[in-house]
Amino acid sequence: MSKHKQFSEQNYSLSPAIFYILLSLANTPRHGYDIMKQVEADSQGKVKLGPGTLYGAIKRMLEDKLISETDSEHARRKYYQLSEKGRAIFSKELQRYDEAVQLAKKRSLLLNPLNKINLAYV
């Protein structure tokens, strides 16, 4: 196994690339190119994965059992899906994001209608 940070339910802070890959697999299995396009769409073009980055991330996520290969009728394409561990870690990351957004709202730190940040608490 490579020397990368392993994911566990206690250590689940995800990079943007891993987060968006898991997000793309949250509802349906996908093949690599489909994941790449979904990540770009979901991130509104802010995260663009090249093949090397994507397949390196997929390899690490397979090693860490965040995702698994699934059966496909397309012999030339590998399809991936979230594992139970991947779904649990993704859910905890979403919960962490939600808690941060709730705190920002409580402190009026989100953009107001005039697109200005309320600096009262900063």
Q: What pLDDT, in 10s, does the model give residues 90-111?
A: 999 999 999 999 999 898 887 6
Residue 90 has what pLDDT? Answer: 96
Domain membership flag for residue 83:
yes
Domain membership flag for residue 11:
no
Q: Which domain holds residue 84?
A: 16-121
Q: What pLDDT, in 10s, does the model give residues 5-32?
A: 666 555 568 999 999 999 999 999 999 9
- Residue 38 Cα distances to 14, 23, 48, 66, 88, angstroms: 18, 9, 10, 18, 21
Domain membership flag for residue 21:
yes
Residue 22: strand, helix, or coil: helix
From the CA atom positions of the chain, what is the Rg in Å? Answer: 17
Domain membership flag for residue 4:
no
- Of 15 and 75, the structure prediction assigns the larger pLDDT to 15
Q: How many domains does the chain have?
A: 1
Domain membership flag for residue 1:
no
Residue 117 has what pLDDT? Answer: 54
Domain membership flag for residue 88:
yes
Most confident of 9-13, 65-69, 117-121: 65-69
Q: Which residue has the tokens 């490579």?
A: 2
Please give the average per-residue pLDDT across 27-45, as a whole number. 97
Residue 19 has what pLDDT? Answer: 96
User: Percentage of the chain with pLDDT > 70?
Assistant: 80
**Residue 75 belongs to domain with CATH number:** 1.10.10.10
Alpha-carbon distance of 64 to 67, in angstroms, equals: 8
Domain membership flag for residue 39:
yes
Alpha-carbon distance of 29 to 39, in angstroms, equals: 14
Domain membership flag for residue 117:
yes
